[in-house]
Amino acid sequence: MASEVVCGLIFRLVLPVCLAAACLFRYNGLSFIYLIYLLLIPLFAEPTRTTMQGHTGRLLKSLCFTSLTFLLLHIVYQITIISLLVGNSIEPDFNCTAWEKSIRQLGFESVIGADAGNGIRVFIPDIGMFVAGLVTWLLCRSLAEKPPAEETAQFNFETGDQEENEEEGELEVEDDMLFEEDSEAGDNCIKEIIGDLITTAGKVVVTILLGLTGIMLPSLTSAVYFFVFLACAPGGLSAGRSTP
């Protein structure tokens, strides 16, 4: 079964990277939905046995359902376009019509006559997000199905050999509990280190993006980003020096 550390790393790092890639791969209404999920992930707790039965589990389920729905809508749209073309209900050069442009902005685009790159750009983000969401949900669900350590130790003690001495059994249970506590302490330490690394990396990326936004296209609005960059950069450097 997946540990809490692995699930937390996937939920906090791998899944956001996949969502960001899906948003950058294409610009339309469907990608905006993935952007909303990307902004919602930091607001939800990391996957645990409790949170997977609550809001975090529902978030992962809704992501799988949303990406699968988008993929099915793509297939339905392609079939509809082909049927209309066969029945001569639309013109062959419908790609530049007003209704086609509007639907394209929503995220649905015909791949008839398109090259392989455009075809991949239409389908891959939804396929990738469905696979990423499903794998994340399955791994985190296995964590939710894992029985608590205390119940496991008690079950092993009750189903063991009845002829063993009670004192030896209590010592074994205490040893198991101490081992579990040490393991949980180590997992929490690793989670804190990973969380600090992700937070630091996020601050660095935001600071770099602010600087690039301020210098790539000089203007009055870009000056605002540049001044924010100048204000944030010294603070980040001083915080980095003060960290032991």
Instruction: Tell me the per-residue pLDDT of 125-135, one tens digit each, with 9 for 90 and over.
Output: 899 999 999 99
Q: Residue 47 contacts by C-beta under 8 Å, 6 or more apart in sequence? A: 4, 7, 8, 11, 56, 57, 60, 140, 143, 144
Tell me how far apart the alpha carbons of residues 244 and 240 are, in angstroms, rounded to a whole number.
8
Residue 66 has pLDDT above 90, yes or no: yes
CA angle 186, 182, 151 (to 5 degrees): 115
The angle, 0 to 180 degrees and rounded to 10, between the axes of the packed helices 116-145 and 55-86 is 150
| Portion of the chain with pLDDT greater than 70, in percent | 68
pLDDT grade for 153, boundaries at 50, 70 and 90: very low
pLDDT grade for 186, boundaries at 50, 70 and 90: low
Tell me how far apart the alpha carbons of residues 151 and 141 are, in angstroms, rounded to a whole number.
19
Amino acid at 31: S
pLDDT grade for 168, boundaries at 50, 70 and 90: low
Give the pLDDT of residue 175: 56
Residue 20 · residue 206 · CB < 8 Å: no
Residue 108 · residue 73 · CB < 8 Å: yes
Single pTM value for the model: 0.65
pLDDT grade for 2, boundaries at 50, 70 and 90: very low
Give me the mean pLDDT over the 161-184 stretch. Answer: 56
Residue 237 has pLDDT above 60, yes or no: no
Tell me how far apart the alpha carbons of residues 244 and 239 are, in angstroms, rounded to a whole number.
10
According to DSSP, residue 164 is labeled S
